[in-house]
């Protein structure tokens, strides 16, 4: 009845559709070109990549097992992310998540994560109040349904540690605020049985610093040993 009164239309072409992106428009979104760095998922350009690893990842510490994303940061893809995050279009998470599920199912390394649970990258409580939702949590929920996985929202938290110098101006304090991720104390005792493998979900992978920080926080929890990162977009600089 509701569908008849208010039919869902595709965000891009305006045609009536099952989700807010029709299959044709979802398929037309610009994908990450192959080959990719088997660690961070970035496209590897030129010939003979060194051991399937991009220059940025060579010799770097590897707090997560691997990262993958279906989409590149084209103008259209970033516009969809912008609407999802800032234009009150939370319904786009369910429309875009099938692209992430497809990439996950095509990832050979994912076979070790058959028992993994999905954990979204948390946002700060202030941002949660302002936006009303966490876009990563919406993607995680949609992905949980598609991959038939459990989603755990509250393993790690995102905090903003304010500079203690109270005489600084508000703008200066904001600039000095450091963002950090930490495990919820309730899980650090190791008394709760947790899966050893986690799929960390976020909307965009840019430098990987968020994924690295979250992975370290997750691995500080007894029992968690492996973290795979799955985002919707991977920002490619070349």
Judged by the rule CB under 5 A, the positions of this chain that interact with Zn ion are 10, 12-13, 22, 25, 37, 39-40, 42, 54, 57
User: Closer to Zn ion at the Cβ: 60 or 196?
Assistant: 60
User: Closer to Zn ion at the Cβ: 12 or 110?
Assistant: 12
- Can you name the residues that pair with 178 across neighbouring β-strands? 161
Min separation Cβ 82 and Zn ion, Å? 18
User: Closer to Zn ion at the Cβ: 38 or 140?
Assistant: 38
Q: How far apart are alpha carbons 201 and 24 in whole angstroms?
A: 25
Q: How far apart are alpha carbons 220 and 175 in whole angstroms?
A: 28
Tell which residue, 91, 120, 121, has the closest CA to residue 181. Answer: 121
Q: How far apart are alpha carbons 51 and 53 in whole angstroms?
A: 5
Min separation Cβ 29 and Zn ion, Å? 10
CA dihedral 193, 194, 195, 197 (to 10 degrees): -150
User: Closer to Zn ion at the Cβ: 173 or 216?
Assistant: 216
Min separation Cβ 42 and Zn ion, Å? 5
**229, 206 Cβ separation under 8 angstroms:** no
Min separation Cβ 37 and Zn ion, Å? 3
């Amino acid at each position: 009845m509701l569908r008849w009164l208010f039919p869902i239309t595709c965000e891009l072409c305006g045609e009536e559709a099952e989700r807010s992106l029709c299959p044709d428009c979802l398929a037309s979104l610009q994908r990450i070109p192959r080959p990719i760095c088997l660690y961070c998922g970035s496209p590897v350009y030129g010939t003979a990549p060194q051991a399937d690893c991009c220059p940025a990842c060579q010799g770097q510490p590897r707090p997560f097992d691997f990262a993958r994303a279906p989409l590149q940061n084209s103008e259209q893809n970033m516009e969809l992310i912008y609407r999802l995050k800032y234009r009150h279009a939370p319904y786009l998470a369910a429309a875009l998540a099938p692209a992430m599920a497809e990439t996950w199912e095509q990832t050979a390394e994912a076979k070790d994560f058959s028992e993994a649970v999905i954990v979204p990258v948390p946002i700060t409580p202030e941002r949660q109040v302002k936006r009303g939702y966490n876009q990563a949590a919406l993607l995680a929920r949609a992905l949980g349904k598609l991959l038939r996985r459990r989603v755990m929202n509250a393993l790690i938290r995102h905090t903003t540690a304010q500079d203690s110098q109270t005489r600084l101006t508000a703008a200066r304090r904001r600039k000095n605020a450091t963002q950090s991720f930490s495990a919820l104390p309730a899980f650090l005792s190791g008394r709760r049985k947790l899966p050893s493998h986690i799929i960390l979900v976020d909307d965009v992978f840019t430098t990987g610093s968020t994924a690295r920080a979250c992975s370290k926080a997750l691995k500080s929890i007894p029992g968690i040993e492996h973290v795979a990162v799955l985002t919707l977009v991977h920002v490619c600089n070349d």
